[in-house]
Structure 1
């Protein structure tokens, strides 16, 4: 009640000041704006799904602890004191772990806070920037949030700039989407260009490799041809030498045979002379 009275006093004070100074006032309905931004709905749904999973996990752990408590209560009469104390300590440890897990999920700087900051804060910043732009263009002196803590007891629809905010955000998002599309297209073109350059470099590299292989094969061929030529020359030299040796041997044999024939002929002649 006290808060409402203070709010009323603040509104009346602002109204008096603006009336006296001819200042311009506008207001927005943050709920209306956010509900007309598809990205916000998607982000909020994603956040809600994650929160639901976290709460389900916490509920599961809590139920498991309750089962432990119930089992201990039912079996306490047949358990030794050491076992009772051990199981009570185990329950306390699990309860502490559950509190830490809850703090990790929903604490001041927990997962929900960080996820909300990641998903929703950028959209809220867009709304704030859009309000600033519109207020600057239309020269408003005050812009209130109808759905905020400052309660409006009366508002004239003509001062509601919420549709303008939504329109400006949509325009900015379309521009951003167009820019992102162009950036993605440029990225693809750059990638294709890089790919073509890479292919060209690879082709040049392969051509150079083939050239080197061809030159190497050519050199090897030349070396082999020289080796074959040397072998052929060596074989020819050996053939000529063999032919020369064979000719000498045949000449010696022929000379020896002739000597023998000559000696035999002399012997025969000498024998004929003696007979005569």
Structure 2
């Protein structure tokens, strides 16, 4: 009977080994500490528990300081105390020390409040994790899934076998479901499906990363080109505005100069007209004074007056002509100077 049982066991083991070799053993692992850190509720409860533990440590420290103080007092006053008093104080110190040990054991012992509350805090999440791990193992045909943070010694584990992120996603999925709309849930499910594919196929993840890097580099290059074009456009606009301002300034300066010249010429012309009128009046006065002279003298005087008036008119015309000629010459020189300056500026810009 025993011989038959041994043969059956050997056959079953051989069959299992053949199946494993044919399909290949698939192994995964999780990091429970990493998963717990990613769960917001656990992190908040853990912080509250740590605050409690800190408070317990402070209480223990107060008790320890009190005991040390009693010991110091006993050491100092021992020579002055009777044997009964010394024994009484030693008994009190021993009682307080036992009380401190009991307090530490109650709070921080292997069955103390800290360990118990931590286990109570972790257990619901651990139960969810174990359920999720079983679902993943069945869905993705894992033969073994280990816990990296357990007592099991794991010397090395490739990242592609780490399914901790998948567990975290499934843990947070239920919480998100209550807050998201149908469309958001659909998008989230698609995102998780892609992420699961990446986790299952590291080469796909690497390829995806390369594509994303290329896309980011291309977007950065386009953005840099846009910024360069914008800076160039701004520089052109500033230069154009500067040239227009300089041109307007020159135009205003030339206009002001012309107006000043006209203002200077107007008083001179008025002065000349006044002097001409005075001369005419004087001529008329002389003619009237000589009215009593002979007709010949009158004619001679009239001719002389006409001659003087004609000379005066000619002189005024010459002066006006000369002033206009100088003004025209001055304007021509200013235009030539402005033209030369414009050409020089254009040449300097072309050289730049």
In the alignment, the residues of structure 2 paired with residue 173 and residue 155 of structure 1 have an alpha-carbon distance, to the nearest angstrom, of 30
Q: State the Cα distance separating 1:18 from its structure 2 match.
A: 5.3
In structure 1, the residue matched to 2:34 is 32
In the alignment, the residues of structure 2 paired with residue 175 and residue 143 of structure 1 have an alpha-carbon distance, to the nearest angstrom, of 27
Residue 82 (structure 2) pairs with residue 80 (structure 1):
yes
In structure 2, the residue matched to 1:189 is none
RMSD: 2.5
**Size of the alignment, in residue pairs?**
164
In the alignment, the residues of structure 2 paired with residue 43 and residue 19 of structure 1 have an alpha-carbon distance, to the nearest angstrom, of 46
5 Å-filtered alignment, 1:9-24, equals 19=21, 22-24=24-26
Q: TM-score, normalised by structure 2?
A: 0.43
Structure 2 regions of 5+ residues with no counterpart?
A: 1-17, 181-352
> Residues 192-222 of structure 1: CA distance to partner in whole angstroms, max 9, x if unpaired?
xxxxxxxxxxxxxxxxxxxxxxxxxxxxxxx
In the alignment, the residues of structure 2 paired with residue 54 and residue 169 of structure 1 have an alpha-carbon distance, to the nearest angstrom, of 32
In the alignment, the residues of structure 1 paired with residue 118 and residue 47 of structure 2 have an alpha-carbon distance, to the nearest angstrom, of 11
1:144 alignment partner, SS class:
strand
Q: State the Cα distance separating 1:148 from its structure 2 match.
A: 3.0
> Residues 12-40 of structure 1: CA distance to partner in whole angstroms, max 9, x if unpaired?
xxxx9955652221111223212211112
Structure 1 regions of 5+ residues with no counterpart?
A: 1-15, 179-276
Q: Is the 8 A contact 1:24 1:139 kept in 2?
A: yes
Q: Which has the higher contact order (CA 8 A, sep 6+)?
A: 1
Gap change, CA 1:104 and 1:153, over 3 Å in 2? closer
In the alignment, the residues of structure 1 paired with residue 166 and residue 90 of structure 2 have an alpha-carbon distance, to the nearest angstrom, of 61
Equivalent position to 2:169, from 160, 167, 170: 167
Gap change, CA 1:18 and 1:86, over 3 Å in 2? farther
In structure 2, the residue matched to 1:70 is 72
Gap change, CA 1:133 and 1:87, over 3 Å in 2? same
In the alignment, the residues of structure 2 paired with residue 167 and residue 33 of structure 1 have an alpha-carbon distance, to the nearest angstrom, of 10
Residue 126 (structure 2) pairs with residue 107 (structure 1):
no
